[in-house]
Copies of this chain bind each other. A is one copy, B any other.
Amino acid sequence: MVSDGERSLSAYLDEVAAGTPAPGGGSVTALVGALAAALAEMVANLTLGREKYADAEATLRPARDRLTTLRMSLLDAAAADEAAYQSYRDAASLPRTSDGEKTARTDAMQKALNVATDVPLAAARSAREVAELLQSVARDGNPHVRSDVALGALLAEAALRGALLNVRGNATLLADRDLAATYLRDADLLENSGREAAQRAYHTAMDAAPEGGFR
């Protein structure tokens, strides 16, 4: 598998559009989270080192560094989602002639499903953290690029919601009902706190933007 990051944008879009399930929603949603992080980093980078915004250094420097880490891990999650889907397909293709084979196949499929739920759950956590950091960037960042913060907040929220669609879809297929319930509870908590953070960042950015500032 070619790592997502090395593909060209147009090749990646072609692969998403193709009539194969991967890369699909799981990979795209992680990429959108990475785009949200990148926009937040851009605004931090257009703020840091400028005397006018010296007060923002203490909050925005660590925020920017953390956003870079989150962007990288979200890009990795885009590739990991494809790998997890392939593992599930591989498990589903195992032989099922004898009872022993059937049990082994079911076990392998459940293990693969577990990973396929963990990957979007981690992506959702990263998207929530991006949304939280966007609040600092909205408050302390260069006001001339706050429409980029607002867009980042819209994308972080969409990435969070998209990742949780996959968490919930895969969790419901888990035979271990206790484990499934834990995933679903985690998903609800993440959704509530993450969407609130994203919406707060969006409104802070929109309230702070100077009238018609062109970037």
Contact = CB atoms under 8 A, between A and B. Distances in A.
B35 A145 contact: no
Interface stretch (A99-107, A128-136, A169-177, A186-194): A169-177
A121 interface: no
A145 B75 contact: no
By size class, the interface of chain A is: 35 or more
A162 B36 CA distance: 12
A42 B18 contact: yes
Q: Is the interface of A mostly helix, strand, loop or mixed?
A: helix
A39 B10 contact: no
A9 B18 contact: no
Given A7-B8, A213-B169, A68 B17 contact: yes
Interface in A187-211: 209, 211
B28 A16 contact: no
A24 B16 CA distance: 23
B18 A31 contact: no
A35 to B, nearest CB: 5
Nearest to A28: B35
Contacts of A48: 19
23 contacts: A6-B8, A6-B10, A8-B9, A9-B9, A9-B75, A9-B78, A10-B75, A13-B34, A13-B75, A16-B38, A16-B39, A17-B41, A17-B67, A19-B42, A25-B147, A32-B35, A116-B214, A151-B158, A151-B162, A158-B158, A169-B209, A169-B213, A170-B214
Given A21-B42, A24-B42, A172-B211, 9 more contacts: A5-B9, A5-B13, A17-B38, A17-B71, A18-B42, A25-B39, A32-B158, A154-B161, A173-B212
